[in-house]
Homo-oligomer: A and B are copies of this chain.
Amino acid sequence: MAKLTAEIKESLAATKTAYFATAAKDGTPNAVPIGAYKLLDDETILVSDQYFNKTLANIKENPRVALTFWGEKGGYQIKGTVTIHTSGTIFTEDVAWVKSLKATLEPKSAIVMKITGVYTIKPGPDAGKKIL
């Protein structure tokens, strides 16, 4: 597990769209833009699934994911592993949160990402360096 720093948390909060990458069993990567994500705590990100298709199929067979973002306050690549929740408290709270953002959205699952590492993505010789 890795604990996000204040700087990384601010950067994530200032970013409206992140790119959520997964991979199929055969190694084919998949990356999609997402907007419904937030921190649950310093080691955990919630991603709400309204329209996932290949992303959901991939994480059912391979829980490894990467979340990459570059917003108004810089960006990072965060790696982790996920669990999928379609009932229970985590799912219920996800539905309430997403509907508070836009009442017409219908979450299908709540994806909980435990953070395993954070990497720089700023162009330059340090690009890709593991920082957490």
* B70 x A33 contact (CB < 8 A): yes
Q: How far is the CA of A123 from the CA of B119 in the complex (A)?
A: 27
A28, A53, A77 — most chain B CB neighbours (10 Å): A28
Size band of the interface chain A makes with B: 35 or more
Residues on B with C-beta less than 8 A from A77 are 30-32
User: A121 contacts the other chain (Cβ, under 8 Å)?
Assistant: yes
Which of chain B's residues have a CB closer than 8 A to the CB of A31? 19, 21, 29, 31, 66, 68, 77
| Partner-B contacts on A (CB < 8 A) | 17, 19, 21-23, 25-33, 35, 50-55, 62, 64-66, 68, 70, 75, 77, 79, 119, 121, 123-125, 127-129
